[in-house]
A and B are shown apart, each in its own frame.
Chain A
């Protein structure tokens, strides 16, 4: 067996893990977090919300089904580093085009395998997400710990500017179907939906704070014409597109550091139907006068139960966030909590009694994860057919 190069993870609190590298060689900093999804490593790697983070997969065998072009969530791998228990050199899947290892090398991602990932996860769970460094070039643990300590914190840093697009573009691609025939029911449903909602093509401007492709695919699937604009786009510029609705995307890092988007959103309130996901939810929360705070180790995985308060039903959701909206900080009585996390009761969704807007903290576009919340896209379509402001109160 060929000897793999050693790799070391050092955390700011002095914890060290030694294993093997299966990706690119070098050194990388980031906040060390974990994701509990058993499938979907490719979507996770390419999700821009992971910018600035070293992601640990709790599922121990990763790489089994390789990498394929259709499951990308952005143009490249976004994580700072990637940690698994065992990297599967063997790939077996009819859609696989490349092995995970090759992909990570090509994308210059530093990786670590062969460590007790459960120990690392339990450490993060107990002590919170930590700054860390992943290195294949420096074997001096003490020095690495020092470097980890000195590395920049994720709090207060605007990571959005690192992942947003540089200029506006149109998105036209729809969702990918693994087995078209088997999934035709979905299309049938959509036809029905189209028949109900006469207008087929709403114009949507999507503010890209690190948007996942699948959100765009879902919008197209629901008949939207989508223009993606950089996060720095102003409210006036957005309205100049004459959109039927504005979408606020997911994105990485501390929401309170992304002040310019919050300002933009403030100006859009009541002017146009708005839908926010993840960071977009936090942007709305801040724009409506609330605060956000950092969670101990965040929610990252595909099994988070969310209760929709309207009908008290539970959705199993895909989540990826380290910050949350503090609902108690929102004094505005017009802001309504629509969804909560069943486990820790944190904010998962809001709407406004006057403005035509709504947002969720989790990911209805899934990818990876369950599709239980797909109805939210339909809700957005419905809202785009309505006024931006309702005087009667709740809509």
Chain B
């Protein structure tokens, strides 16, 4: 069937900010969908609140709305744009839920908007657990025994039949939000309550536990002619009971015979038909009892998902792109396969390699978080690796994680037998390393299986790796056998680093030894068809075999090193920059080579670059590629800290790094050199020092004077960074900072209390420096810049202050000989502007600044790095924005019960949103709404501030009263407010009996919380207040500056209803001026 001509304008809903369970895979799918629909001539309207996405680049849609992804705001967009159709299946759970709300509220019917891809009935059938169960049973398939519950009382009743443990799954949530396992009645009551609150429809499914069964996922595609194909079967390394997003997964399925696989295939197709997903991709999950092969259906997602992104990257079949084309009426047999150009999308990819995905966790960021893995996803990113065997791909995946692990080796203290058993028994992020420990301690495969329920096939493969270690160590003395052993070890995926460790030598020596003996990787193609047809897209991975298919060209080419796995502090923003560099330089006629290992990203779409190497970003793996490709330039400044760390080692290997030289990068990071540079330029910086040990640290801190900011060098996202107020805290904290810093010194700075903070992004071509944007933080200095909200243009700075900032920025760019992007953080206290930090690389704020100013700064910088001048590009002066853009951060605290949500110098946010409007208040209000904490326009505000803030809060409180809010406060703040003539209701503190403030919050009697922390540590009143706010989803502001901004926002909201405006409209207007 040809494409539909009765629809012309299609609305796409993006997934909003990056949160746990919904990361940049939806930018990948959304970008593909936008491209595919535009390619077919449709007018694409896009809404997404996340500025760091490629999909929200103005060229990917006809009208791009960076507006909150809520039914209310999308309805306004529909009213304005009048699209013919809405494609709800590419924006994750968020997009789907908003589409459901719009359908149910009658908005879609009112404006005559057709849901394409999946109809509302199909979505509900798949998402409502009871309807799903009924549908699956109707076609004769089995599901685990289950009941729907709406309360704890229901749950207790059903638990008798289910037995313990019971799995609790809330309906309509993503990433297993609110889902859990209860082992007894008490747990059941608590967890059901939590789950009911997390569910959009207040429903949870109580399910019989099949913990320990094997888990599989199939990616399915269907078209309007009812052609159905399976893209990829994925087998989970970790058994049932661990969220798929937190499981190591392997493609294709490894331990199923054809008969067993076909059972899953038939079931997936039958489910797809019964649920009635018209077109597009879905994924179906199964559990299989390893003892007798009994199969049950777990769930289905009627949309593209994290797994479909993985399946796309694992097979080369672009699921989201094809899904978009199917949604407008094409059928699978009409869509050509990009890779072979000869075959069609109507086929099932077959692969001749093994793919391993390992999640990336950041528990170190959340002290107090429960690190046990279960049914609620906790990881923030993932890596994927490709190898010709499971062993090779598994070991490549480990070193892709960038957690300083290059093998299964556990570098912590030697565990006891009991510790090993404990680590095997309870799923956790270190379990795989403990499998090695167990094997080393002579546990049998059966023992390990009994503890972990990880399939014996996987365990035996790990055992082969451990056994190989012995062979390698033994070969140390056998010079003749060594080359053979090393070759075999490389085929097993061993890293040079680990081989060096086993052989008692240096990584460099292993490298040289290998090259001398001709042991080098070859590159093979991901081609969807196991070489049956010729492939035309160089999507490559390394392996140690004979034939090399890389065939580098003689074209002018640039290699870009990507950012690796998403983590807190280094996420989609850096991938955005890499993708922009690729786009810009491709346009300029360069061949682009992308190296990255993150399957969720746009950078690892084979369409983004000319040649894609899906490889770990380690020295060894990247250097091999660069030696093979011999690019004319390598860009390391766009992918965050990951490639930046490789800059110097690669530079020493004569790799041609373009842009700011690695030496300048080093100067900026090196405290001494940088201090000297600032002195020379007469730019003030807070008093500071460095320390390699505690004694020096104490000495330095004493000299500088407390409070001081302590942090390791060469880290992103403020890892192990803290404000230290006294000697005792220094003693406690220094050890951790030193551990993270490694051989680099720990930095100690004077902490400027109550100073304002400013972020500046600039681009320099060696002679001209242009400021991309000056961003004023809403919160004071001391909160990590990645966690604080910021505004363009600066709203409270004087022209003289801005002039100083501009002067310093240009001077620093010139002195550091920056070619490309740089980011500077300033603090101001009184009239003095201090430089806190200079980073001569792309920063996290580049996408935000680009969206705010309408100039793709990363593209500009990439061109500068290849020798173009800013003047040539017509970029000569700072953009003076007519509108206000606010960036707000989004936090994962809801996923980590027990963790305090207070902010500090260590970054904790997973993502960001942007609010744009004509005035600051409205832009701020939009940003809060987009971040899921919409400001109330009426109701009750609870205020509790530390003494220092009391004076400043009075004005804020008065304004709130004037705006019609009621005030509630505990003792101290209450008397302050009444003394100042405000009516205030006093509530009890947690320790003062009940009902207390936490009860009020839980009972939803409070609409807004202003609580500035005293920093007194955990389990205090304020901790309970903040936790209750998170659980009850009530906006909670933790700084006076934030409170002031909120008041501005509320004021604007009360003045006039919010309206929507596309990026194209904003920037068109700007260009006209």
Residues of A bordering B, CB below 8 Å: 1, 34, 36-40, 42-43, 58-61, 64-65, 68, 70-71, 85-86, 88-95, 115-119, 121-122, 125, 176, 178-179, 181-185, 188, 301-305, 307, 312-314, 316, 342-343, 366-371
Contacts and interface: CB of A to CB of B under 8 A. Distances in A.
B226 interface: yes
B532 A301 contact: yes
A161 B3 CA distance: 52
A343 B348 contact: no
A344 to B, nearest CB: 8
B1058 interface: no
A42 B263 contact: no
Given A37-B258, A305-B346, A60 B352 contact: yes
Contacts of B461: 90
Contact of A1 (B344, B456, B471): B471
Nearest to A344: B342
B35 interface: no
A307 B292 CA distance: 37
Contacts of A188: 140
B442 interface: no
Chain A to chain B: the 9 pairs with minimum beta-carbon distance, closest first: A185-B140, A40-B258, A92-B457, A368-B258, A90-B460, A119-B547, A58-B530, A39-B258, A116-B546
Given A59-B530, A60-B353, A119 B255 contact: no
Contacts of B254: 61, 64
Interface stretch (B52-60, B264-272, B741-749, B983-991): B264-272
A362 to B, nearest CB: 13
Nearest to A370: B265
A119 B253 CA distance: 23
A39 B293 contact: no
Interface in B101-146: 139-142
Given A36-B530, A182-B142, A366-B262, A93 B255 contact: yes
Nearest to A85: B388
A58 B352 contact: yes
B392 to A, nearest CB: 10
B943 interface: no
Contacts of B332: 314
B457 A179 contact: no
Nearest to B449: A92
Interface residues of B, number: 68
Contacts of A115: 546
Interface string B529-542: 11111100000000
Given A37-B258, A181-B294, A185-B140, A90 B456 contact: yes
Contact of B348 (A184, A303, A367): A303
B354 interface: yes
Contacts of A68: 257
Contact of B140 (A116, A184, A307): A184
Contact of A43 (B258, B294, B344, B457): B258
A367 B467 CA distance: 36
A59 B315 CA distance: 13
Nearest to A312: B225
A169 B354 CA distance: 44
Contact of A302 (B255, B266, B350, B546): B350
A176 B141 contact: no
B350 A36 contact: yes
A92 B460 contact: yes
A372 to B, nearest CB: 8
A351 B266 CA distance: 28
B206 interface: no
B351 interface: yes
A185 B258 contact: no
A257 to B, nearest CB: 26
With a 10 A CB-CB cut-off, give which of A122, A184, A314 has the most chain B CB atoms: A314
Nearest to B225: A313
25 contacts: A36-B352, A39-B257, A60-B354, A61-B390, A64-B254, A64-B457, A90-B456, A90-B464, A92-B460, A93-B256, A94-B290, A94-B291, A118-B531, A119-B546, A121-B532, A178-B260, A178-B263, A178-B293, A303-B350, A303-B529, A307-B333, A312-B333, A313-B225, A316-B346, A342-B346
Contacts of A58: 350, 352, 530-532
Given A179-B295, A342-B347, 13 more contacts: A36-B530, A39-B253, A58-B352, A58-B532, A61-B390, A92-B456, A119-B546, A121-B531, A121-B532, A185-B141, A301-B532, A305-B346, A343-B347
B142 A59 contact: no
B389 interface: yes
B270 A185 contact: yes
A18 B546 CA distance: 11
A60 B250 CA distance: 14
A61 B354 contact: yes
Contacts of A302: 258, 348, 350
Nearest to B528: A303
Interface in B204-228: 225-227
B142 A316 contact: no
B331 to A, nearest CB: 8
A176 B293 CA distance: 13
A184 B270 CA distance: 13
A367 B141 contact: no
B428 interface: no
A349 B655 CA distance: 57
B266 A371 contact: yes
A343 B530 contact: no
A182 B352 contact: no
B433 interface: no
B968 to A, nearest CB: 56
B142 to A, nearest CB: 5
Interface string B320-332: 0000000000001
Nearest to B343: A343
A139 to B, nearest CB: 18
B714 interface: no
A85 B254 CA distance: 15
A94 B293 contact: yes
A36 B533 CA distance: 11
Contacts of B293: 94-95, 178-179
B455 interface: yes
Contact of B350 (A70, A93, A301): A301
A88 B252 CA distance: 15
A306 to B, nearest CB: 9
With a 10 A CB-CB cut-off, give which of A38, A39, A65 has the most chain B CB atoms: A38
A344 B1021 CA distance: 72
A335 to B, nearest CB: 24
Contacts of A342: 333, 343-344, 346-347
Given A61-B354, A342-B333, A71 B259 contact: yes
A147 B252 CA distance: 38
A370 B228 CA distance: 11
B410 interface: no
Contacts of B263: 178-179, 182-183
A185 B530 CA distance: 33
A71 B258 contact: yes
B892 interface: no
A118 B530 CA distance: 8
A23 B609 CA distance: 44
A42 to B, nearest CB: 7
A179 B263 CA distance: 8
B458 to A, nearest CB: 8
B257 A40 contact: yes
B371 interface: no
B388 A313 contact: no
Interface in B272-299: 290-296
B255 A92 contact: yes
B227 A304 contact: no
B344 A305 contact: yes
Contacts of B252: 38, 59
Contact of B333 (A70, A184, A305): A305
Contacts of A61: 254, 354, 389-390
